[in-house]
Structure 1
């Protein structure tokens, strides 16, 4: 006869509630990330270049994933503390406040993939496409291949942001000025630590940390959205290994995230395993068996035509 399992003690139950309430795994991960980043910058001279490129990129991407997590989850932590946890701009280029605003707009599911309303869409409207010259069309088309998106895409993203912000200033709109001033003040201590304490040139940091981080971000987002009649058919599932899962905080299981944005990252893979059939049915089987499959299919071939079929 099987002995029934004992219920957890009150002390254990309180610990579990506290652990879940404050999403302790995320807080621990953030502390480990900052410690690893500081150690790698400080000891970079003893790390081979290829390994430094890989490790620096992974830490930068993991920090971006934590910033994404703070937008959606950690809801039981006051907003100022939640923002402070991920505020340090390790990747230097994007103010967290702008990212927060832009990404929150992206989560209006009805607008997903819209060339103008979805802030993360890589589609272009037919009207805009007809106005492009041959060079711009060639660049946009090339950006639909994984090889181009990962290597040149980060530079295009920086150019697009700089062009947008410059246009805003030229039009007399200074609404982002305070954000950029605060961002500059936040970047200063990062640059000080990198150059003065770590003894690393700023160019080296951009090459070994910032650029590979942006490359990994471009890999994750390459084909996580496509046009579909139903909004949830526009969101992919990329079932990758544990390394990429942790690196992206399981945002590669993107459809799960869009259906339950506040679900903590460490609960996403279990939810997907338990509801796999229902998830893949809901997103029209928009599915890849890892990033190797994506590279095999789209390294040199376009993932889809850049002109949006609807707008």
Structure 2
């Protein structure tokens, strides 16, 4: 049976519509306001990309891809994000610095190889303010470096993913140019803040715990929940990734005690509670507390794929 989740389709249309309105109508008169709107919409688009790669809002994967094919945050190809993100959803491997492409932990041997300045930056990146400021840049640089290696090696599907991404970039960059917004300004004032907003959600989304279910967070309420498409209730999403964003609050409310027991009490009341606790204090160590503690890599380990969601929605 054909299924269309119309709330998501409507939100995608609104997302692109508001972005166009901000650039075409607001930018000429109130440029700072336009850039602010575009940054918020860029973050929403990242959340919608995450929704689509999980099989929403239709059962046709090509149509889902086409619906979010114009990359408002410019950097991450849909198919590359999809490949790494679905690998991340193997919950038994969550947070593993080798097996989980979205882990912020490092294996001890990886950390030992790094120059001290990079070790220090990663330590700062594990504070909430550091993640918001440095995270988008570190994520993008690491991702692009890894992708360059995969492109040179002609890894399966990577060149096609980038080809499709470049096709989507052409109209987006054309519109930005037509609006009169310098591309450098768009990168600094739209893309960077967009990814910073997403980093609020991803900052503490996962932790190490012996039980795979204990590795995924619940943030019970937030005025940003709409921007994150309710993925603040992240354990519900990881357990039922086929559930559309607009049913996650109901699923959580119906079995609140179950979800909190399942994730071993990894619960924050709000993101503000997280800010107060970790704005300037690292929440997690850079080196994974349990896995890959060897000082040299055990064959056949090599540098893992860099998180495709250094700024995307995880």
TM-score, normalised by the number of residues in structure 1: 0.88
Map 1:67-106 → 2, pairs under 5 A: 67-74=49-56, 76-106=58-88
C-alpha displacement at 1:56, in angstroms? 1.7
Supply the RMSD in Å over aligned alpha carbons. 1.8
Change (3 A) 1:306 1:82: same
C-alpha displacement at 1:137, in angstroms? 1.4
Partners in 2 of 1:194 and 1:48 — Cα distance? 13
1:122-145 CA deviation, whole Å, 9 max, x = no partner?
Answer: 001122222223212111111111
Instruction: For structure 2, list consecutive stretches of 5 or more residues without a partner in the other structure.
Output: 292-314
Match of 2:254 among 255, 274, 283: 274
Change (3 A) 1:217 1:110: same
Q: How many residues align?
A: 290
C-alpha displacement at 1:252, in angstroms? 0.9
Q: Which has the larger radius of gyration?
A: 1
C-alpha displacement at 1:204, in angstroms? 2.2
Partner of 2:116: 134
Partners in 2 of 1:88 and 1:26 — Cα distance? 16
C-alpha displacement at 1:166, in angstroms? 2.6
Kindly indicate whether residue 282 of structure 2 is the aligned counterpart of residue 302 of structure 1: yes
Kindly indicate whether residue 29 of structure 2 is the aligned counterpart of residue 46 of structure 1: yes
Asked if structure 2 preserves the Cα contact closer than 8 Å seen for 1:73 and 1:264, the reply is no
Partner of 1:238: 219
C-alpha displacement at 1:173, in angstroms? 5.0
Partner of 2:180: 199
C-alpha displacement at 1:296, in angstroms? 0.6
Match of 2:93 among 108, 111, 115: 111
Partner of 1:259: 239
Kindly indicate whether residue 133 of structure 2 is the aligned counterpart of residue 151 of structure 1: yes
Partners in 1 of 2:138 and 2:248 — Cα distance? 31
**Which has the larger displacement, 220-229 or 175-184?**
175-184
Query: What SS does structure 2 have at the residue aligned with 1:245?
Result: coil
Asked if structure 2 preserves the Cα contact closer than 8 Å seen for 1:105 and 1:119, the reply is yes
Query: What SS does structure 1 have at the residue aligned with 2:131?
Result: helix
1:1-28 CA deviation, whole Å, 9 max, x = no partner?
Answer: xxxxxxxxxxxxxxxx99xx41111111
1:74-116 CA deviation, whole Å, 9 max, x = no partner?
Answer: 2643121111111111111111010111101000011100001
Instruction: For structure 1, list consecutive stretches of 5 or more residues without a partner in the other structure.
Output: 1-16
Query: What SS does structure 2 have at the residue aligned with 1:32?
Result: helix
